Amino acid sequence: MKTADFDYALPPELIAQQPLPDRAASRMMIVERATGEIRHEQFRDLGTYLHAGDLLVLNDTKVIPARIWSQSPAVELLLVENLGDNRWSALVKPGHRAKVGAKLRFTPWFNAVVEDEADFGGRVLRFEGNVDSYLQHHGAAPLPPYIERPAVAADRERYQTVFARAAGAIAAPTAGLHFTAEMLEQLRVAGIGHTFITLHVGIGTFRPVKTETVEEHKMHAEKFSVSAEAAAAMRAVWSCGRGIPAPIRLRQGFGGQAGRDKNVAPTEPKSRIIAVGTTVVRALETAGKPRACEGSTDIFIRPPFQFRVVDALLTNFHLPRSTLLMLVCALASRELILRAYAEAVRERYRFFSYGDCMLIL
């Protein structure tokens, strides 16, 4: 497939530059795969489209304040991956100031030596000093480049899910940013469970596709783990049956009262595994079935793809020609998703990390 097949026009003013004051106040587009229907809701209405027995799978990775600046020479670094022994891979700019052998000075007690070039065009650095401590005191939230403002102190909290636990990501699993602890509890009380996996979001998720054809693009590996607890929760869903027979759909609200679409015969809804974010999809589809596992994944999900675990997806809106958009098109269809994106533009949705979301059923 041509990379250009996944392009769309986006007015720059629709790229969200700030988060909403209330996490759960985002808009939510509903996309029905079976019928091609598109509706517009609020994220607070998520429970209306779920039912008892459904399981939300969330990514509990924690974003580290990975952007730092050396004093001499003046270089901006985005730490990408901890390689052990105080060595990190990093994106650097300007690159000509960080050639192999160069020493980057931050403070009298914290410095780094450029040891090698990284396979993604960055550098491998060996630090002298406590990296974690320096990041906590001097690092900034690694906001993506389409947010055209410097990171501020508030971004450390807001560019982070409320359930973040395992430090190691250089970007937030943005679909999870909409949840509050109160909303997760409301869903739990309604019989809609949740569990956590971990995928440390790195440059593999956001690296642009620069090749002419999709198949030529190579993903950068990212570390992930699925716990025994998460695997057991997903197997419990499988034991109850999966999916909802199209075109029948029941809608279950927080109050426990099922609302049925008109002219549809009653049926028993089946439990679903609902991935919250594309990173969860990549981890679960790498595992292939609900099982405890850990490792690295460079899986590139694009049309056509046979999903083995994920039944539905909550996701933000993604960049044109990105691997994330290609993944979403694999779950629905390219035609349906691009039609949904065109409607999102017409309806003035907010795009990308701090933007609105889409629920694909």
- Angle among Cα 122, 176, 133 to the nearest 5 degrees reads 50
CA 160 to CA 172: how far, in whole Å?
6
Question: What residues contact residue 46 under an 8 Å CB cut-off, 6+ apart?
Answer: 28, 183, 187, 314, 359
pLDDT in tens, 133-168: 999 999 999 999 999 999 999 999 999 999 999 999
Nearest residue to 318 (alpha-carbon basis) of 333, 304, 308, 329: 329
Q: Is the per-residue pLDDT at 264 higher than 60? A: no
Give the per-residue pLDDT at 254.
45
Task: Indicate whether 225 and 330 sit together in one domain.
Answer: yes
Residues 99 and 167 in one domain: no
The dihedral of CA 333, 339, 344, 347: what is its sign?
negative
Q: Is residue 235 a part of any domain in this protein?
A: yes
On whether both 219 and 85 belong to a single domain, the answer is: no
Examine the domain organization and report whether 192 and 221 are in the same domain: yes
Bridge partners of 61, per DSSP, are 166
Q: CA angle 33-38-43, nearest 5°?
A: 100
Residue 261 has pLDDT above 70, yes or no: no
Residue 248 has pLDDT above 50, yes or no: no
Q: Is the per-residue pLDDT at 214 higher than 90?
A: yes
Q: What is the pLDDT of residues 33-49, one digit of tens each?
A: 999 999 999 999 999 99
Is 199 within a domain? yes
Together in a domain, 287 and 305: yes
For residues 20-27, average pLDDT? 97
Residues 58 and 174 occupy one common structural domain: yes
pLDDT of residue 111: 97
Q: Is the dihedral of CA 151, 59, 318, 91 positive or negative?
A: positive
Q: What domain count does the chain have?
A: 2
What pLDDT is attached to residue 220?
A: 86
Other residues' Cβ atoms within 10 Å of the Cβ of residue 220: 18
Considering the entire predicted model, what is its pTM?
Answer: 0.91
Cβ pair 309, 230 in contact under 8 A: no
The predicted pLDDT at position 120 comes to 83
* Bridge pairing between strands 55-59 and 273-276: parallel
Per-residue model confidence (pLDDT) at position 286:
97
So what's the pLDDT on residue 208? 80
Q: What is the pLDDT of residue 102?
A: 97
Query: What is the average per-residue pLDDT within 92-110?
Result: 96
| Per-residue confidence band for 267, with pLDDT thresholds at 50, 70 and 90 | low
Query: What's the pLDDT at 268?
Result: 61
Quick check: is 22 in a domain? yes
Examine the pLDDT at 282 and tell me if it is beyond 70: yes
* pLDDT for the residue 255: 40
CB atoms within 10 A of CB 255: 9
Taking the C-alpha atoms of residue 237 and residue 262, their distance in angstroms, rounded to an integer, is 27
Q: Is residue 260 over pLDDT 70?
A: no
d(CA 199, CA 196): 10
Strand residue runs (E) in the chain: 27-31, 38-42, 55-59, 61-63, 67-70, 75-84, 87-93, 103-107, 110-117, 123-128, 166-169, 193-199, 222-226, 250-252, 258-260, 273-276, 293-297, 312-316, 357-360
Report residue 249's pLDDT band, with 50, 70 and 90 as the boundaries.
very low
* In a shared domain, residues 214 and 242: yes
Is the domain of 104 the same as that of 235? no
Closest C-alpha to 264, from 251, 252, 247, 242: 247
CA torsion, ordered 197, 201, 207, 211, to nearest 10 deg: -20
What residues make up the domain containing 130?
A: 67-139
The residue that leads in pLDDT, 287 or 251, is: 287
Which CATH number goes with the domain that contains 17?
A: 3.40.1780.10
Tell me the pLDDT tens digit for each residue of 60-93.
999 999 999 999 999 999 999 999 999 999 999 9
* 181 and 328 share one domain: yes
Mean of the per-residue pLDDT values for the chain?
Answer: 92
Q: Are residues 36 and 84 in the same domain?
A: no
